[in-house]
Amino acid sequence: MRDLSPSITSYLDRLPVGVASYPECLVKASVFRNALAVKPLGPEVALPPEVRALVDHPPPVSVWIPEVQFNVITLAVRDTHFAADDLDGYLAWVLDQNRKLLGTPLYRALFLLVSPERLLLGLEKRWGTFRRGTELRLHRQAPGEVELRLVTPPFLHSQLAMEGLAMAFRAAVERAGARDARVTGDVISSTEIGYNLTWV
């Protein structure tokens, strides 16, 4: 098999058993199916066998898939379709993909008649719509601002995954009516990421 990209290798090397790590951490297949339709990962892209099988035969949108494998897919998309110095372009694309996903009939009902503040009151339940095995906590809330804490197994998320999730949070509060939404993320420890969201 061809060598994996340095970014994928670096990510998997930090995990206890590589691509098989943290099988309890799952994400809905809906989060990657549309993305691969736009940014495909053809046979020339080196992937672990488990991830290659997932890419070549995507399950239905309602199926849960291992989050480690999803993170490998995001790294491969970044490596394959964006220049090394074009992180902004990648994150803009991730934001656009999340806006489209949350506007589909599958998820649109989550945001009906919900303000950003009310959206955050049901945070844990809404997080469970997309992910299992990780915990999103409301750390602090003020008018037009919130701090979140994402608790995960050690090194589940790469820096790229952390920044991609920031775009997902931005898309969610925008869908709930927020204007001029901004999100920043910071690694607190190997098991915790902090996010700060502001909007008007």
pTM over 0.85: yes
pLDDT for position 107: 79
Domain count, the chain: 1
Distance CA(98)–CA(105), nearest Å, equals 13
Max distance between CA atoms of the chain, in angstroms, equals 52
In a domain, 131, yes or no: yes
In a domain, 147, yes or no: yes
Distance CA(65)–CA(92), nearest Å, equals 24
CATH number reported for the structural domain that contains residue 168 in this entry: 3.30.1360
In a domain, 177, yes or no: yes
In a domain, 160, yes or no: yes
What tens-digit pLDDT sequence spans the chain (200 residues)? 579 999 999 999 999 999 999 999 999 998 888 889 899 999 999 999 999 999 999 999 899 999 999 999 999 999 999 999 999 999 999 999 999 988 888 777 777 657 887 777 777 788 988 899 999 999 999 999 999 999 999 999 999 999 999 999 999 889 888 999 999 999 999 999 999 999 98
The one-letter amino acid at 68: V
Domain encompassing residue 137: 115-198
Distance CA(184)–CA(198), nearest Å, equals 9
Distance CA(127)–CA(62), nearest Å, equals 15
**Do 197 and 146 contact (CB within 8 A), yes or no?**
yes
In a domain, 158, yes or no: yes
In a domain, 17, yes or no: no
Nearest Cα to Cα of residue 162 among 198, 190, 199, 138: 190
In a domain, 16, yes or no: no
The one-letter amino acid at 73: I
Structure-token pair, residue 140: 């602090």
pLDDT for position 4: 96
Nearest Cα to Cα of residue 91 among 190, 180, 3, 169: 169
In a domain, 87, yes or no: no
